[in-house]
Structure 1
Amino acid sequence: MNIKDKVVLITGGTHGIGAVTALQLANEGAVVSLVARNVHDTDIVSQIEAIGGKCIIVQADLSNPDDCARAVQETVEKLGGIDVLVHSAGSAAPGSLLNGAKEVWYQAFDIHIHAAFHLCTNAVPFMKNRGEGAIILISSAAGLRGVKGALAYAVVKGALPQFTRALAYEVSDANIRVNCVSPGVIRTRFQDYLTPEQVKNNVSNRIPLQREGKPEDVAEAICMLIKNEFITGENVVIDGGMTMRIV
């Protein structure tokens, strides 16, 4: 898919991986719709405009199905359609089976899984009208392995690659591709809760490449999956080798 002039909706697009992806796509000529709960604490719009890109921002609570539908509809109304959906919004979900709030469990499903379902349900018909489309879901290396103290997060992130495969097969006859990326430890504000000791442990003992990833590393993979027209139903792991290690 040629990205130039394509309309790309990015959830969680005001910070971290979503914002860096938005900037890279805008730099390649895409028109970007950023969807976020907090639309004020960000400078990504001015960054995109500074490189001559076009961008709108939509406030939405993606745990609300109606807001998911409105985010797609507002994007279509203001930008004329939708070609690409990148669901990057997410939140931490700490807690174990016996020591975790039920609300955290349900919220994790609302933000990661249910939002993906509702966004795709609303976006796919517009992609069908275009004759092509691309959907990228952001999972996590945590979904590939057990994660102590983050049961809900690991479960919902593990579900996203399977949702990707099932949906990719379902919409393939409409020339819509669906792929997933699973980042490992990426240096964003999502990692700000880590202590210096935990960061050192990640780098020294868990990541074979001996460094944390950057949002740009993930954004490059997302852009590749959007542009490559013969990849669908795949989960690309971007973790510096963390999940391949045995010890």
Structure 2
Amino acid sequence: MTGELDGKVALVTGAARGVGAATVTWLHARGAQVVATDIRPSVREWTAGLDGVTALVGDVADEETAIRSVATAVERFGGLDILVSNAGRSVNKPVTETTADDWDTLLAVNARAAFLHSREAFRVMRERGGGAIVTVGSFACSVGFTGGSAYSASKGALAQLTKVLALEGGPHGIRANVVAPGVIETDLLDSFRPDSREYLRSFGEAHPLKRVASPEEIAEVIGFLASPRAGFVTGAVVAADGGYTAA
């Protein structure tokens, strides 16, 4: 599918690693120009050799970062056609041990950031005559799990935000969808678990496919929803969870 996205401009948040980095690679390989945003300065390092990719460092939960990211896409590449809101955090605590800071942080990074970037992208896409917004949710968009009060609330919010974006965006040619992965083997938990990848792999048995996902597998689903091949798909929560929610 080389060249499928020639002339398209994309913005990916949480682009320094994992699913975000895999998505930047997927979009770039198909011809898109990409703004890659992350709070980690390392996003500059790994994208440095990619022609047509611009890295931007900022906290996605800050309104200024959303405004600056979209403005960078317009100023550097002439517009914005695809937004992938991927940045996210996780906390796994019983509800009685979840602090107000835990709650506020997860809602800010997982939900507020997606809202802010979607709002700014929507404004540009509306003037451009259309676009695609893809948000990375979770199986927690639709089911709960023990220890996931703040995380589940933040991911559930993404499903509802996406439905509204689809309704308001439809008349302007703007599609909006959520990808709802199961457990993915990334370094998401590295900051508080030295064995994070092994720990995440241990959840493989909870999926009917008996394994967890790779970032590249989720990037494929994101890329499809962002592409013209998904031209009649909007307002959907698309499960990519190895069958987890089938039960």
TM over 0.5, yes or no? yes
**In 2, distance between residues paired with 1:149 and 1:201?**
17
Of 6, 19, 32, which aligns to 1:4? Answer: 6
One of 105, 108, 111 as aligned partner of 1:113: 111
Structure 2: tracts of 5 or more residues without a match? none
Q: Give 2:132's aligned residue.
A: 134
* Sequence identity percentage: 33
CA contact (8 A) 1:94 1:104 kept: no
Amino acid of the structure 2 residue aligned with 1:67: T
Name the CA distance, whole Å, in 2 between partners of 1:111 and 1:200.
Answer: 24
Q: Please state whether the residue corresponding to 1:233 is helix, strand or coil.
A: coil
- For structure 1, which segment, 132-141 or 2-11, has the greater mean C-alpha deviation from structure 2 after superposition? 2-11
Shift of 1:199: 4.8
Please report how far the alpha carbon of residue 217 of structure 1 lies from its aligned counterpart in structure 2 after TM superposition: 1.1
Structure 2 residue corresponding to 1:81, chosen from 59, 79, 82: 79
Contact 1:95 1:101 in 2 (8 A): no
Aligned to 1:103: 101
Instruction: Work out whether 1:207 is the aligned partner of 2:200.
Output: no
Cα shift readout 1:170-192 (whole Å, capped 9, x = no counterpart): 11000000011011011111255
TM-score (normalizing by structure 2):
0.90
Instruction: Describe the shift of the 1:82–1:241 C-alpha distance in structure 2 as closer, same or farther (beyond 3 A).
Output: same
Give the whole-Å Cα distance in 1 for the aligned partners of 2:101 and 2:153.
Answer: 15
Looking at structure 2, the residues matched to 138 and 19 of structure 1 have their Cα atoms a distance apart, in angstroms, of 13
Amino acid at match of 2:232: F
**Of residues 233, 236, 243 in structure 1, which corresponds to 2:238?**
236
Q: Which runs of 4+ in 1 moved over 4 A?
A: 194-201
| Structure 1 unaligned blocks of 5 or more | none
Q: Structure 1 length as normaliser, TM-score? A: 0.90
Q: For structure 1, which segment, 68-77 or 24-33, has the greater mean C-alpha deviation from structure 2 after superposition?
A: 68-77
**Given the superposition, is the C-alpha separation of residues 132 and 201 from structure 1 closer, same or farther in structure 2, using an over 3 Å criterion?**
same
CA deviation digits over 1:18-66, x for unaligned, max 9? 100110110000001000011226653146x2xxx41000111112112
Indicate yes or no: 2:143 matched with 1:157.
Answer: no
Q: Is the 8 A contact 2:183 2:200 kept in 1?
A: no
Aligned residues: 240
